[in-house]
Amino acid sequence: MEKGFVQIYTGNGKGKTTAAMGLAVRACGRGLRVVIVQFLKGSSTGEMKVLEGINGVKLIRVANADKFFWKLTDDEKEQMKRVAEAVLLDIETLFEKNEVDVLILDEVMGAMKNGIVTMKQIFALLDIRPKQVEVVLSGRDAPKELIDRADLVTEMQDVKHYFSKGVKAREGIEY
């Protein structure tokens, strides 16, 4: 790509992660090298089973596989912060070596809200990226500063959701 843009998928409706994963598949199908970092949510998902096996997609998880984020102790959160820091450094290296075309930071808004990464770190990453790298940031409640910085912002609006009728998350549809 000649020029990469910064995209945000936000809002309280369903579809942010699935849109980001859809873009990953599309990009990969065109030979672009994709790096996906998934923050906070560590449980197994259908997309992860597929994406982990694809050449040209690198999937990194900054999450605890067997505990929901809100159940973590302060120590475990500190530990996750350090993992996030290391992952951001790895991404810098990938940028330097020109080994990524599309970078997806899924649920990064939640990671910022919970202090796992700072907005400053995300801005720094956007600043140092090679100009052809496309970046997708997803998660509810995108902060205004990031929206101002982005080139594309899509808000998934919750018009109706079966969750409000008591339907539980379904394998293959929600995860």
* Positions marked active-site: 12, 14, 16-18, 26, 68, 70, 107
The sign of the CA dihedral 152, 114, 12, 88 is positive
- Select 17 or 64, whichever has its Cβ closest to Mg ion: 17
- Select 64 or 94, whichever has its Cβ closest to ligand ATP: 64
Cα–Cα distance measured from residue 64 to residue 144, given in angstroms and rounded to the nearest whole number: 28
Query: Which residue among 4, 6, 9, 17 contacts Mg ion (CB under 5 A)?
Result: 17
Q: Which residues bind ligand ATP (CB under 6 A)?
A: 12-18, 107, 140, 156, 158, 161, 163, 169, 174-175
The sign of the CA dihedral 115, 6, 15, 172 is negative
- Partnered with residue 34 across adjacent β-strands are 57, 102
- Select 50 or 95, whichever has its Cβ closest to Mg ion: 50
Q: Verify binding: residue 38, Mg ion, rule CB under 5 A.
A: no
Going by C-alpha positions, the residue among 20, 23, 17 that lies closest to residue 1 is 23
What is the binding site for Mg ion (CB under 5 A)?
A: 16-17
